[in-house]
Structure 1
Amino acid sequence: MVCSIIVGGQWGDEGKGKIISYLCSEDKPNIIARGGVGPNAGHTVTIGDKKFGIRMVPTGFPYREAKLCIGAGVLVDPDVLLKEIEMLKEFNVKERLTVDYRCGIIEERHKIEDREDKHLSEEIGTTGTGCGPANRDRVLRILKQAKDIDELKDYLGDVSEIVNDALDEGKDVLIEGTQGTFLSLYYGTYPYVTSKDTTASSFAADIGIGPTKVDEVIVVFKSFPTRVGAGPFPTEMSLEEAEKLGIVEYGTVTGRRRRVGYFDFDLARKACRLNGATQIALTGLDKYDKSCYGVREFEKLSDKAKEFIEKIEDITKVPVTLISTGPEMKQIIDLRKEKL
């Protein structure tokens, strides 16, 4: 039995979807459960020549043998969720998905308020998906729950019971966290943060498992971190500099261009401590050093790339076990057997 949590170590957009897809194909978990805030986090899943922009369904959906769960701590926008279920019908998501009956519900009024609030929309740079106002109503104990929505009745269940039963039976569980550590309401660059905590501890609570049930916490870092919206970014480079490096990216949910920066080693160390990281997954190494594109053996990496990885390990005291060297799922170096 292994229970693993995947966490973004920066400001989101670290490439968690690629890492999750790889882990699903290799480790074949019995359950893939989504924690996090809600539909304000977007992930792009590429399958062959098709791209799927996902905001609610767990991004491990292409692995058809796993049950899919959305934990009680996640906010659900029924319109977004039902559209995704329909979009992903070829993957039998409808038959595999359980939504915890205690999930909070985002209503249209929450989205309107999110977009029209000048502080949230203009100063903070909110995604406008209604998550902040909905979480406020949750704290006030006036928010509707999934059990109150007729359209969701076919998907309702107790995710905490499902996941804990699976772990008791010796099954494998993969928990997907969303956003990134420094968008945490508690530990991020407040007030330029999301509306709840986004570290591993909260993702476990979102699903309904205790900390002693967690075996691995994999923190994902991007070689050149990015950020969407306002807020501090100590190592940010100019857009012109990013273009010279060939790094031009846009947010999945908002379509806004992502700000780009250099790797921040001190921030990486902090992220590992906040999450209790046991492993690091490093993405975009091919952008750090183009000679590493598609490399699948550590020994074949350039000296520049090896020194970069060794410095990350030296400063964070956490092993880099997964190294992405390109966009395709097979373009990855897996060092877990050697380092764990």
Structure 2
Amino acid sequence: MPSTVVVGGFFGDEGKGKIISYLAQKDNPEIVVRGGAGPNAGHTIEDGDKKYKVRMLPSGFLNKKARLMVGPGVVVNPDVLHKEISEFDCSSRTFVDFNCGIIEASHLEADSAGRLKEKIGSTGSGTGPANADRAMRTLKMAKEIDSLKKYLIDVPGEINTALENDKTVLVEGTQGTFLSLWHGGYPFVTSKDVTASGICADIGLGPKNVDDVMVVFKSYVTRVGEGVLENEISAQETASRGWSEVGTVTGRQRRAAEFNFSLAKRAILLNSATQIALTKLDVLFPECAHVQSFEKLSEAAKSFVTKIEDELNVPVLLIGTGAGVGDIIDLRT
């Protein structure tokens, strides 16, 4: 049952899109399936001179053979989904579960003003209000939407059948561990649990059918919006270090801090992580840009990676050394 679940270890923005895209091309999975809250999570993928920003489809779409699925726990904005299907030319291999919830205009309106926007710093995508309506049993389902009929499928059935037939399934989480509704800094969190357990529930994958959980950490910590960020550095210091970034969905400036080992340990615990992917090592150590061999990293970079492994007691198996999908040191073999 070759299944790998990929989740964020901090507050989102860890580079999961790059990691998923790399794994989708390197491991050639039968299915790439997305769990999570909804289109409030954006993943950015750079492939050559092209940059893709994805909010509804799995980030593995660059593998032209993989079937792309959205699990029943995800709320879907049909307009965003149709736009991405058209943009990435993947209509024939995109599938949405019958029981995905639907974001409507009323959810977008509710999310663009008031408490969620002003206090929590919501993305305005309608995801939170839609998930609230789902809890109240009033939300429309994908099976009620005519424009989605050609994409509807039983996602849990498909992924479990694939695993029974020894096919590879790659599971894409969204946001980050400490944006989880249960495990994050409430109330500055997303509208669901987004740890590995929550993502698996979203797609209908039982615990015994999970082979590996890969937690993605960035080489420093960032978060968008409100909420505690321990040891946060100033915007000026962030810029001077070359750490300035903006959120994929909102375009808001990301706040920054150095790598937080205490948070990382907690993320390992909450996700039962078996593997770590570390991104943006080249931002922390510019001399390591585009390096594709651990031996060719600087001694300072090697020490940083080794410290992460020693402190967290989990192997670092993928290391990002640039923005491109192929800027990866792969230590899995």
Normalised by the length of structure 1, the TM-score is 0.96
CA contact (8 A) 1:266 1:315 kept: no
Q: Please give the secondary structure, in 1, of the residue aligned with 2:258.
A: coil
Distance across 1 between alignment mates of 2:188 and 2:67: 34
Alpha-carbon shift at residue 46 of structure 1 (Å): 2.1
Alpha-carbon shift at residue 151 of structure 1 (Å): 0.6
Unaligned runs of at least 5 residues, structure 1: none
**Residues 257-296 of structure 1: matches in 2 within 5 Å?**
257-296=253-292
CA contact (8 A) 1:235 1:263 kept: no
Unaligned runs of at least 5 residues, structure 2: none
CA contact (8 A) 2:45 2:324 kept: no
Q: What does residue 169 of structure 1 align with?
A: 165
Alpha-carbon shift at residue 48 of structure 1 (Å): 2.5
Matched, 1:111 2:131: no
Q: What's the CA shift string for 1:182-219, capped at 9, x where partnerless? A: 00000001110000001001111111110000001000
Distance across 2 between alignment mates of 1:113 and 1:123: 14
Alpha-carbon shift at residue 18 of structure 1 (Å): 1.0
One-letter amino acid of the counterpart of residue 202, structure 2: D
Distance across 1 between alignment mates of 2:52 and 2:288: 27
Distance across 1 between alignment mates of 2:247 and 2:35: 20
Q: Please give the secondary structure, in 2, of the residue aligned with 1:218.
A: strand
Distance across 1 between alignment mates of 2:111 and 2:283: 35
Q: What's the CA shift string for 1:62-86, capped at 9, x where partnerless? A: 1011111000000000111111111
| Stretch deviating more after TM superposition (40-49 or 206-215) | 40-49
CA contact (8 A) 2:47 2:325 kept: no
**Residues 126-137 of structure 1: matches in 2 within 5 Å?**
126-137=122-133
Q: Which of 175, 180, 184 is 2:180 aligned to?
A: 184
CA contact (8 A) 2:97 2:153 kept: yes
Distance across 2 between alignment mates of 1:75 and 1:38: 5
CA contact (8 A) 1:71 1:207 kept: yes
Alpha-carbon shift at residue 253 of structure 1 (Å): 0.6
Q: Which of 298, 301, 306 is 1:302 aligned to?
A: 298
Alpha-carbon shift at residue 28 of structure 1 (Å): 0.6
Distance across 1 between alignment mates of 2:52 and 2:302: 33
Q: Please give the secondary structure, in 2, of the residue aligned with 1:225.
A: strand
CA contact (8 A) 2:32 2:169 kept: yes
Distance across 2 between alignment mates of 1:26 and 1:235: 36
Q: What does residue 313 of structure 1 align with?
A: 309
CA contact (8 A) 2:45 2:325 kept: no
Distance across 1 between alignment mates of 2:293 and 2:52: 29
Q: Which of 314, 332, 335 is 2:331 aligned to?
A: 335
Distance across 2 between alignment mates of 1:59 and 1:126: 22
Distance across 2 between alignment mates of 1:312 and 1:248: 23
Q: What does residue 39 of structure 1 align with?
A: 39
Alpha-carbon shift at residue 330 of structure 1 (Å): 2.3
CA contact (8 A) 2:8 2:177 kept: yes
Q: What does residue 79 of structure 1 align with?
A: 79
Distance across 1 between alignment mates of 2:249 and 2:324: 22
Normalised by the length of structure 2, the TM-score is 0.98
Q: Please give the secondary structure, in 1, of the residue aligned with 2:80.
A: helix
Report sequence identity in percent.
56
Q: Please give the secondary structure, in 2, of the residue aligned with 1:336.
A: coil
Distance across 2 between alignment mates of 1:288 and 1:252: 21
CA contact (8 A) 1:34 1:57 kept: yes
Alpha-carbon shift at residue 9 of structure 1 (Å): 0.3
Q: What does residue 156 of structure 1 align with?
A: 152
Matched, 1:94 2:91: yes
Q: What does residue 11 of structure 1 align with?
A: 11
Q: Please give the secondary structure, in 1, of the residue aligned with 2:326.
A: coil
Alpha-carbon shift at residue 115 of structure 1 (Å): 1.2
Q: Please give the secondary structure, in 2, of the residue aligned with 1:99.
A: strand
Alpha-carbon shift at residue 107 of structure 1 (Å): 0.6
Matched, 1:237 2:233: yes
Alpha-carbon shift at residue 245 of structure 1 (Å): 1.0
